Structure 1
Amino acid sequence: MNSFESTSVPTETSLSMTVINLVADADDTDPVELAPLYDTIDPDLLDSLVDSPGFSSLEFTYHGYTVAVGEVNGEIEVEIADANAPIDDAAEPDLVDTESST
């Protein structure tokens, strides 16, 4: 996914609130102005993912954004992208080749 906003989930903040705040920031709006998250996904279920053994990833659409939640290096990461933008699943981060063969 070509994300334009991402964050790690702080331990003192629930995953559902992290999603709401990230989408509100991306939309430049107050979180209370967004449609309720529970219209899209059960916030309690979303929050329980942090403690679920074997959890790897989840993707859903909320308030016009594709939200991807995943475990990365032992931390829960949340990324959002415009839901109408094409998703490039094969996209890799830009890496600099420090070893070149001549």
Structure 2
Amino acid sequence: MRVMVALRLKGVEYELLQETMGKKSELLLASNPVHKKIPVLLHRGKPISESLVIVQYVDEVWPPPASILPRDDPYAAAIHRFWGQYIDDMVRSSCLID
């Protein structure tokens, strides 16, 4: 979700490939062999994984007008990262099935 928001903020067109829970595609395993999980961004044939890393990459690769994280205030950027991770954790925990 975080990655899609970042791409939309930057106005980047993308193709979304869905993964089936429990069955990992060959593309996913080849693109993220360490963690073997989504999200993965393929840009120019190179994989970038982990949502916060991808968001930072998107912010650096695609220029303003919109900046996702504050560039002139490291503390404000850290607070943005904290809340982004908190929201991700809350969404993930609410999706767990007992």
If you compute each CA radius of gyration, which structure gives the higher value, 1 or 2? Answer: 1
TM-score (norm 2): 0.30
Q: Which has the higher strand share?
A: 1
**TM-score, normalisation: structure 1:** 0.30
Higher relative contact order (CA 8 A, sep 6+): 1
